[in-house]
């Protein structure tokens, strides 16, 4: 039985985590996320992705029971590396990925959300890395991604105290993009994914690649890559369509060409 199902709706692939009661992030679920990415990566009918949790939570953490079945430290390290590779694939994916978070995104659940490009949260959601409460540390790159979003000082506080923050606080600190009442967050997330899906797939891919350069490269390398992409995108049919539509005061229809 699978823990992740997905369906495509108006250029958006919507994945649903369903593993009651807490949508715990088991190895199988991580593998199914990887399979989802493979299924939609080259599908021209999918231009953006959305992942959310069914039930009470987005994902309240890793599967602790699975941990108890592993005794070898090397096996734990490989488990961590597998999760890291999938979440890094998400971060570097050529189509935008939105996380719609309600209830809780804790531990591995938050690490999954941080692998997405954009996070919409419910105002009452709880986000955090509580691993130190169990005598552990994050394993899916949480200790490395969290400081990128909230800064070193706040990341140190969250990690070392294990205290979660609310959805409203997550927006304040830069961990989430926007917060909404819980009954609205999924529809708001879906609307955002659809809005991005209506952009040119070529320019979206370029923008996502450039954002990665902004994270990891020096400024000169990044601006050179921007110039390279600008030249490549400018000669596309989508760019001509976008410019023509602007001049003609109509909405563009992008085909990814």
| Tens-binned pLDDT, residue by residue, of the chain (257 aa) | 699 999 999 999 999 999 999 999 999 999 999 999 999 999 999 999 999 999 999 999 887 777 777 778 888 898 889 999 999 999 999 999 999 999 999 999 999 999 999 999 999 999 999 999 999 999 999 999 999 999 999 999 999 999 999 999 999 999 999 999 999 999 999 999 999 999 999 999 999 999 999 988 789 999 999 999 999 999 999 999 999 999 999 999 999 99
Distance CA 167, CA 149 (A): 14
Q: Are 11 and 46 in contact (CB under 8 A)?
A: yes
Model confidence, pTM: 0.95
Options 32, 91, 123, 131, the catalytic residue: 131
Token reading at 108: 């591995």
> Any catalytic annotation for residue 131?
yes
Token reading at 181: 């009442």
Q: Are 29 and 60 in contact (CB under 8 A)?
A: no
Token reading at 89: 């694939």
> Any catalytic annotation for residue 111?
yes
Options 32, 91, 111, 169, the catalytic residue: 111
Token reading at 23: 């949508």
């Amino acid at each position: 039985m699978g823990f992740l199902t997905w369906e495509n709706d108006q250029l958006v692939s919507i994945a649903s985590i369903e593993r009651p009661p807490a949508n715990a992030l088991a190895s199988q679920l991580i593998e199914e996320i990887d399979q989802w990415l493979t299924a939609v990566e080259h599908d021209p009918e999918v231009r953006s992705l959305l992942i959310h949790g069914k039930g009470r939570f987005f994902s309240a953490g890793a599967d602790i029971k699975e941990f108890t079945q592993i005794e070898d430290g090397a096996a734990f390290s490989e488990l961590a590396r597998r999760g890291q590779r999938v979440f890094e694939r998400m971060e570097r994916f050529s189509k935008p990925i939105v996380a719609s978070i309600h209830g809780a995104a804790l531990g591995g659940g938050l690490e999954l959300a941080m692998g997405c490009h954009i996070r919409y949260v419910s105002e009452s959601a709880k986000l955090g890395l509580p691993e130190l409460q169990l005598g552990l540390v994050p394993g899916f790159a949480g200790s490395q991604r969290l400081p990128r979003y909230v800064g070193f000082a706040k990341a140190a506080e969250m990690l070392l105290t294990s205290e979660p923050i609310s959805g409203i606080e997550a927006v304040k600190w830069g961990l989430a993009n926007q917060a909404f009442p819980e009954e609205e967050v999924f529809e708001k997330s879906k609307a955002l994914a659809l809005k991005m899906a209506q952009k040119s797939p070529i320019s979206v891919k370029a923008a996502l690649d450039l954002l990665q350069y902004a994270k990891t490269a020096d400024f000169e390398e990044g601006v050179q890559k921007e110039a390279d992409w600008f030249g490549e995108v400018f000669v596309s049919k989508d760019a001509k369509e976008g410019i023509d539509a602007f001049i003609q005061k109509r909405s563009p229809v992008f085909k990814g060409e």
